[in-house]
Amino acid sequence: MANQTGRGQQAQERLSQVSSHLSGSSSQKGKQALLEKNPDDIVITCALRTPITRGGKGGFKNTASADLLHGAFTALIRRSGIDPSLVEDIAVGTVLAPGGGATEFRAAALAAGFPVTTSCKSLNRQCSSGLQACVDIANAIKAGMIEIGIGAGAESMSSQYGPQAVTEFSELLEGHKEAANCKVPMGVLSEKMAKAKGIPRSEQDKFAASSFQKAVRAQQQGLFDEEIAPLTVKWTDPKTDEEKTITVAKDDGVREGITAESLGKIRPAFSKDGSIHAGNASQISDGAAAVLLMKRSTAQRLGQPIIGKFVQASVVGVPPLLMGVGPAAAIPVVLQKTGLGKNDVDIYEINEAFASQCLYCINELGLDMEKVNPKGGAIAFGHPLGVTGARQVSTLLTELKRTGKKVGVTSMCIGTGMGMAAVWVAE
């Protein structure tokens, strides 16, 4: 009998040895490997954003970016139930704030209830700042520098958008051709790129109209409600100059009834025979977003609900005048790093800086249009520069969860010629 027990145990050991040969391939790449759950995964336990409102007109036109950030922080603490003293670092992406926003963002964190022991930095990688913030925090957790952190973004384009946001170029920089290209305005170079890459206005208008239509549909179905944290702010009525207190719970840039035909009537903004106009470019907007990141083992220990995981990011440089091709350059790199095929990805959130560049990237990569920005994009609800990267995380994860899908990519082009992309998995 004892012998038989020994036999059974030996068989069990041999079986587990063989099964470890089949499953124990942690170096394995591709979709299957991505879906595996490991204790050292970097996971997201809460991702949210304020509504995004129209610059100069919308609900946040009189709200400072640090106040928007404060709103995102307090909502994050409330929703996740995280003990603020456990958060070790916060990174905030922002583009326009003078001095990088470093001072007021640290103050916003303290005001939101984080103790003095929670550190805070601001960073600026142009339009990908929000994503860079999340990636910086994820990497710091991966490297063991911190255990829990927040990647965030905040931008008040109403108050801080304008020529003062760019320093005058020196003679040295002006004298270098490629360097001088870095200050060509986005609209102008995108116009040139649309022409060079042969993307007709009709296509751009069609793409822009569909972004509006998708966003309208999503808003009507309440698909943004889960990711949005409503914010109560002071707002000055432009007609009466009366200061009111309002609660903003919706993106107010989303307009109904937009069609390719109605967009076709708008005058081009950058040159007479151009193709880019206010209706097929991203809106100027205000908003904030925040993403709570930690290791899976930490989340399990704290009982935090895991909504997704961060897998990998990529960043690449492209010629400054072709900055719009950024996603087309960055997405293949991140797919290669993770061993994914383009069809393994269920949803692509590609920032719609301009319909022209987004369309170019989709065509260049040969992506299925159905998979790109299913709830619309920056053309419909706005592109608060430093926020977008962090905003895409909540937009992506809620949509993946709703549709029962798994793998998503967020990406955007970056002024001065770069592209960034990241792979996320919903759980």
Partner 1 sequence: MLEYRTQGYNGYSVKYSPFFDSRLAVAASANFGLVGNGRVYILGLTPNGIVAEKWFDTQDSLFDTTWSEAHENQLLAASGDGSVKLFDITLSQFPIQSWEEHAREVFAVHWNLVAKDSFLSSSWDGTVKIWNPNASQSLITLPTHSCTYSAAFSPHSPSILSSVSSDSHLRIFDLRTPASACNHLTLNIPIHTPPKPRMGAAAPVGVPPSEALTHDWNKYRDTIVATAGVDRLIRTFDIRAPAAGPVAVLPGHEYAVRRVTWSPHLSDVLLSASYDMTCRVWTDGSAMGAGTIKQENMLQQDPMVLGGGREMGKMVRHTEFATGVDWCLFGAEGWCASTGWDERVMVWDCRAIMH
For partner 1, the closer CB: 12 or 85: 12
Shortest distance in whole angstroms from residue 425 CB to partner 1: 17
Helical pair 65-80 and 102-112, crossing angle rounded to 10 deg = 40
The values of phi and psi at residue 354, to 5°, are -140, 145
Q: Which of 195, 266, 339, 344 binds partner 1 (CB under 8 A)?
A: 339
Minimum CB separation from partner 1 for residue 115, in Å?
A: 34
Task: Report whether 127 contacts 385 (CB < 8 A).
Answer: yes
Residue 85, interface with partner 1 (CB under 8 A)? no
Q: In the beta sheet, which residues pair with residue 410?
A: 349, 422
User: What is the DSSP track for 369-385?
Assistant: GGGB-TT--HHHH---T
**Closer to partner 1 by Cβ: residue 14 or 57:** 14
Q: Of these residues, 127, 134, 358, 361, which one is catalytic? A: 127
Distance separating the N- and C-terminal Cα atoms of the chain: 46
Of 286-325, which residues contact partner 1 (CB under 8 A)? 314
215 close to 380: Cβ distance less than 8 angstroms: yes
Assess 180 for contact with partner 1 (CB under 8 A).
Answer: no
14 near partner 1 (CB under 8 A): yes
Calpha distance 64→60 (Å, rounded) = 8
Considering the rule CB under 8 A, would residue 20 count as an interface residue with partner 1? yes
Running DSSP on this structure, what letter comes out for residue 17?
H
Q: Verify binding: residue 17, partner 1, rule CB under 8 A.
A: yes
DSSP per-residue letters across 95-116: SSSGGGGHHHHHHHHHHHT--T
Active site residue 120: no
Assign 313 to helix, strand or coil.
Answer: strand
- Establish if 78 lies at the interface with partner 1 (CB under 8 A): no
Which residues have a Cβ under 8 Å from the Cβ of 106 and sit 6 or more positions away?
120
Cα–Cα distances (Å) from 384 to 53, 93, 418, in that order, read 9, 11, 18
Q: Bridge-partner residues for 45, per DSSP?
A: none
Tokens of 411: 């990406």
Segment lying near partner 1 (by CB under 8 A), choices 17-25, 199-207, 216-224, 370-378: 17-25
Single out the segment in contact with partner 1 by CB under 8 A; choices: 2-10, 186-194, 216-224, 293-301. 2-10
Of 2, 21, 177, 404, the one binding partner 1 (CB under 8 A) is: 21
- Is 70 annotated as catalytic? no
CB of residue 32 vs partner 1: minimum separation in angstroms? Answer: 11
Q: Which is nearer to partner 1, 15 or 173 (CB)?
A: 15
Q: Exactly one of 3, 5, 26, 245 binds partner 1 (CB under 8 A); which one?
A: 26
Per CB under 8 A, does 5 bind partner 1?
no
What number of H helices and E strands is found in the chain?
16, 12
Is residue 134 among the annotated active site residues? no
Q: Which residues form the interface with partner 1 (CB under 8 A)?
A: 7-8, 10-11, 14-15, 17-18, 20-22, 24-28, 314, 332-333, 336-337, 339
